[in-house]
Amino acid sequence: MGVSFDKVDGIIWFDGKLVPWAEANVHVLTHGLHYASCVFEGERAYGGEVFKSREHSERLKRSAQILDFEIPYSVAEIDAAKQLVIEKNNLPGAYLRPIAWRGSEMMGVSARSNTIHLAIACWEWPSYFDPVERLKGIRIDMAEYRRPDPRTIPALAKAAGLYMICTISKHAAERKGYADALMLDWEGRVAECTGANIFFVKEGKLHTPIADCFLDGITRTTVIDLAKKRGIEVIERRIMPEELTGFSECFITGTAAEVTPVSEIADWKFTPGAVSKRLMDDYTFEVQPKGRKAA
Q: What is the number of other CB atoms lying within 10 angstroms of the CB of residue 34?
A: 15
pTM as predicted: 0.94
Give the pLDDT band (50/70/90) at residue 273: very high
DSSP readout, 221-235?
HHHHHHHHHTT--EE
Measured CA to CA, the distance from residue 149 to residue 142 in angstroms comes to 19
Say whether 145 sits in a helix, a strand or coil.
coil
Compute CA distances 102 → 66, 75, 220, whole Å.
14, 19, 29
- CA-nearest of 256, 262, 257 to 276 is 262
- 167 sits in the region (left: phi over 0; alpha: psi -120 to 50; else beta) called alpha
Q: Per-residue pLDDT tens for 201-236?
A: 999 999 999 999 999 999 999 999 999 999 999 999
Compute CA distances 64 → 43, 75, 130, 137, 179, whole Å.
17, 13, 33, 35, 30
Is the pLDDT assigned to residue 131 strictly greater than 90?
no
Q: Which residues are part of the catalytic machinery? A: 158
Domains and CATH numbers, the chain: 5-123 (3.30.470.10), 131-286 (3.20.10.10)
Q: Per-residue pLDDT tens for 29-47?
A: 999 999 999 999 999 999 9
Q: Per-residue pLDDT tens for 149-189?
A: 999 999 999 999 999 999 999 999 999 999 999 999 999 99
